[in-house]
Amino acid sequence: MKIKLATASMNVAYDKQANLKKFLSLIDEAASFGADLLVLPEQSLQGYLPSMTALDMSHYQYQYDNAETIPDGASVRAVVDKAMERNIYVVFGMTEKDAYIDYKLYNSAVLTGPDGYIGKYRKVHLPLDELHTYYAGEDFPVFQTKIGRIGMLICYDKAFPESAREAALADAEILVTPLAWPHSTQEHISDPEKDPNLEEHRLYDRVRAMENQIFFISSNHAGASGKAHYLGNSNIVGPNGVIIATTGYNEGVAYAEVDLKQEIYRGKTIGMGGSNLMRERRPSVYKNLRDD
């Protein structure tokens, strides 16, 4: 069974209604192109922190004022309803407010689809100023859908091999990663191919796919937002670690039609000369990774 995957690079405003309007437009566009799954960036509903290094309480106040519970927030419901209307799976990033403890915020990703809300993931690894704004998640859930088993990471999570491996060990077939991955300095904006942040971003996407022999989809911000300028380059990567579709640096949507089961099968067998990296693991030997 072939499915069509889609990932967006998106310029995000500090205006929830404007971002939601863009969400709904992108869902319509992707559905019109026959996409089965669309991935949208990290914190793309409210906007990512304007600075990752400034302990500025106004940033927290903005996120608190614009956070929503999942799945009952008004904007969340709008995306859920649109995904149902257009018969498409959608993953998007947002600030979640805890339904029971009002001041607890999470950097979360939501998965919804043709049959409604499916589940959420709360970012586990929080860098820099995120530590002052969000509480960390505590697991890596994988969700069964009609197009395959979907796991989620968010941005910095992909720097930790354990994150992707945890989802892969739960039989994830598609690992989606909304992110906010910026240029390292302003000087690289005019020549992004020289930016080490771009190389790191591509490398993580490719390695996390290949070392687990599954599909990996990233979705990044594009252009200026707050004090950062984002790299775009939202990627769809196959189980062999090859980028098969990318948005490039600007806003847009990249598509790839894949035979999910067949390509994962090839990745775990003849694609590496018969080597299966999951089957041939030796957990009993990895003493420093064991809790005991």
Q: How far, in Å, CA of 44 to CA of 93, rounded?
A: 5
Confidence of residue 268 (pLDDT cuts 50, 70, 90): confident
Cα-based angle 162, 163, 164 (whole degrees, multiple of 5): 95
Confidence of residue 277 (pLDDT cuts 50, 70, 90): confident
Q: pLDDT over 90 for what percent of the chain?
A: 78
CATH code for the domain defined by 2-259:
3.60.110.10
Q: Is it the case that residue 84 has pLDDT exceeding 60?
A: yes
**What's the predicted TM-score (pTM) here?**
0.95
Give me the pLDDT at residue 54, please.
Answer: 77
Give me the pLDDT at residue 234, please.
Answer: 98
Q: Is it the case that residue 292 has pLDDT exceeding 60?
A: no
Give me the pLDDT at residue 179, please.
Answer: 97
pLDDT (mean) for 58-66: 92
Please name the residue that has the structure tokens 């989620």: 152
pLDDT (mean) for 109-114: 98
Q: Is it the case that residue 133 has pLDDT exceeding 60?
A: yes
pLDDT (mean) for 254-273: 90
Q: How far, in Å, CA of 266 to CA of 228, rounded?
A: 40
Alpha carbons within 13 A on the beta-carbon side of 35: 25
Give me the pLDDT at residue 29, please.
Answer: 98
**Sign of the alpha-carbon dihedral angle for 97, 99, 103, 107:** negative
